[in-house]
Amino acid sequence: MNGADALISTLVANEVTACFANPGTSEMQFVAALDRNPRMRPVLCLFEGVATGAADGYGRMAERPACTLLHLGPGYGNGAANLHNARRAFTPIVNVIGDHATYHRQYDAPLNSDIRALATPNSVWVESADSPDQVAALAAEAVAASYGPPGGPASLILPADSAWLETTSEPVIAQRPVRPAPIDAAIEESARALKEAAKPVLLIGGQACSAAGLKQAARLAAAGVTVYADTFVARQPRGAGCYAPKRMPYFGEMALQELEGVDLMLLAGTTQPVAFFAYPGRPSLLVPEGADALSLAGRGEDAVAGLAALADALGAPREGPVQPLQKPDAAPSGPLSPQLAGISFARHLPEGAIVCDDSVTSGGGIAVPAMTAAPHEVLALTGGAIGIGLPLAVGAAVAAPDRKVVSLNGDGAAMYTVQALWTIARENLDVCAVVFANNTYRILNIEMMRTGAGQAGPQAAKLLELGDPSIDWVSLAKGLGVPAVRCATAEDFDKAFAGAMAQRGPMFIEAVI
């Protein structure tokens, strides 16, 4: 047994059984060892940003890590944007980053780089296994670190000689950490503050937005507390039978306007909200002036237990409000828009579907009718780095093969990681990918005005528009192996989406808006 065998055996022993990979020469020992341990499922991704985003989607759904296999520092660098998103989602991931043999590093070969420095900003743990006898123990440490709490990507650097040299190490079982419950004093202080506040709100995020967390938040809503969820949540149930908290508005001024008069913001599973960007003359912190911010449960604590204890302390009802099942009565008609696509989405989305949302400015048209659609779950863009919708779908479909996965994407966002379509086709994943094609970075046009930079002129527009030439999405998807259709009317979209939901396997829909 060599170091690569020890690594894979330890990962598998800790239920890390999916590997999203884009390997190179330094990782060939790991690749060869896959044949000796068939419990690890290798999934080839043609770009590292797909591999890391897929590991994020897998971890969010499986609630345990997948591993990535990345080729030295440049390979990690190519995947960094979606690891940024994963860090913001607190998703457990184990990155295996190949490196030059320990004795070869000194010669500064062309692919040599400071991998630790590259990996540290988006990792909760980074170590290099500089001998084969270290590999198993460090792999177990990486798995444990990825769970947190609250969790995130852990990065194990694997030099080539540590992979090929022999070792007698046995697989090591990681000690999975447990979230501590909030202390009694936090429950008591939160209950007292809610009773004394004139206009309190509860802001939930992370684990508090799980099904169990939403059930307890609904009890507090039934007791008269206004509940908001973070703008972007890693994984949240939605639709009929689910409690629907308000959503913290994306634009800071809208958030502060909506929160006007609030004198207490209670936090569970999240931190104080801040504006996504700085704008001239506008505040960064989205807690109303004069309001107290109080933490019931931090990100690393058991927010579900905290919400339940708080609801009990307030004498809240045992059950709270949930959304009814209310699908649109009639099919939409006319030129396609996100709002009309949303009607079809709500009409045909099957129960238990997983929606990977990177639809940017088109998302609102889907989200509103989806509130009373069949129950489903949404994986959102937690870190703001677009290009995650298609990779998330890859990972979610591998983690939950019996559930329909729908990937919603802006056209600019989808081009970041369009290679994911090839993996969807190769693995025959049950994914319907929808791209809303408006041939522009619409969000950037909006933000240009909001930052005070003014209206885009002819030179500025060259960096904001996508229509010259227009992307031929149908040809692109078909060229990557996915059946595809283009829809410019609501009637065509309704038919295409209904068909995709009624059958298994890959499907691509270009929604021209």
Q: Is the domain 3-164 a CATH 3.40.50.970 member?
A: yes
The mean pLDDT of 442-465, rounded to a whole number, is: 83
Write the DSSP assignment of 103-162 as a string of letters: TTGGG--TT---HHHHHGGG-SEEEE--SGGGHHHHHHHHHHHHH-SS--EEEEEEEHHH
50-78: per-residue pLDDT in tens? 999 999 999 999 999 999 999 999 999 99
CA–CA gap between residue 178 and residue 300 (Å, rounded):
9
With cut-offs at 50, 70 and 90, classify the pLDDT of residue 441. Answer: confident
Return the half-sphere exposure (C-beta side, CA atoms, 13 A cut-off) of residue 375. Answer: 11
Q: What is the pLDDT of residue 458?
A: 86
- pLDDT value for 467: 86
**What is the arithmetic mean of pLDDT over 398-421?**
97
Start and end residues for every CATH 3.40.50.1220 domain found in the chain: 184-313
Detail the DSSP E strand segments found in 400-483: 405-410, 431-437
What is the reported pLDDT for 333? 98
Residue 21 above 90 pLDDT?
yes
Confidence at residue 446, expressed as pLDDT on a 0 to 100 scale: 83
pLDDT (average), residues 480-494: 98
Low-confidence winner among 139-148, 342-351, 445-454 (lowest mean pLDDT): 445-454
Q: Are 363 and 232 in contact (CB under 8 A)?
A: no
Tell me the percentage of the chain whose pLDDT exceeds 90. Answer: 93
**CB-CB contact of 39 with 88 (8 Å):** no
pLDDT of residue 383: 97
Taking only the tens place, the pLDDT of each residue in 187-212 is 999 999 999 999 999 999 999 999 99
Instruction: Give the pLDDT of residue 125.
Output: 98
Mean pLDDT of 152-156: 98
User: What angle do the packed helices 303-313 and 211-222 form, to 10 degrees?
Assistant: 20
Q: Which residues make beta-bridge pairs with 127?
A: 156
For residue 445, the model assigns a pLDDT of: 80
Tell me: pLDDT of 49 over 90.
Answer: yes
Structure tokens at 226: 């206004």
Quickly list DSSP for 219-263: HHHHTT-EEEE-SS-SSEEESTTS---EE--SSHHHHHHHTTT--
- CATH fold, domain 338-512, is Rossmann fold (3.40.50)
- Domain 184-313 indexed as CATH 3.30.1300.10: no
| DSSP β-ladder status, 66-70 and 18-22 | parallel
What type of residue sits at position 257? Q
Best CA proximity match to 382, nearest among 219, 236, 183:
236
pLDDT band at 503 (very low <50, low <70, confident <90, very high): very high
Strand pairing category for 200-204 and 246-247? unpaired
**pLDDT tens digits for 282-316?**
999 999 999 999 999 999 999 999 999 999 999 99
Q: What is the mean pLDDT of residues 236-245?
A: 98
**Average pLDDT of the segment spanning 94-115:** 98
Beta bridge mates, 294: 266
Write the CB contacts of 84 (distance below 8 Å, at least 6 apart in sequence): 122, 383, 385
pLDDT in tens, 350-374: 999 999 999 999 999 999 999 999 9
The C-alpha atoms of residue 284 and residue 277 are separated, in whole angstroms, by: 8
Q: What is the overall mean pLDDT for the chain? A: 96
- Of 428, 424, 426, the residue nearest 409 (C-alpha): 424
* pLDDT tens digits along 248-284: 999 999 999 999 999 999 999 999 999 999 888 899 9
Strand 431-437 and strand 507-512: the pairing is parallel
Question: Can you read off the two tokens belonging to residue 119?
Answer: 């990996």
Q: Return residue ranges of the chain for CATH 3.40.50.970.
A: 3-164, 338-512
CA nearest to 389, candidates 347, 452, 432: 432
Cis peptide before 469 (omega within 30 of 0): yes
- Helical packing angle, 389-399 and 48-62, nearest 10°: 50
HEC readout, 148-190? CCCCCEEEEEEEHHHHHCECCCCCCCCCCCCCCCCCHHHHHHH
Name the band, by pLDDT with cuts 50, 70 and 90, for residue 119: very high
Helices 303-313/184-196 angle, 10° precision: 50
Taking only the tens place, the pLDDT of each residue in 33-44 is: 999 999 999 999
Q: How confident is the model over 383-388, as a mean pLDDT?
A: 97
Nearest to 75 by CA among 30, 112, 31: 112
Look up residue 300 and give its DSSP letter: T
489/493 Cα distance (integer angstroms): 6
What is the tally of helices (H) and strands (E) in the chain? 21, 18
Q: Are strands 236-238 and 376-379 parallel, antiparallel or unpaired?
A: antiparallel
Pick from 232, 234, 77, 83: nearest CA to 146: 83
Confidence of residue 20 (pLDDT cuts 50, 70, 90): very high
The residue behind tokens 């002819």 is 458
Q: What was the pLDDT predicted at 439?
A: 86
Question: What tokens were used for 139?
Answer: 């792999």
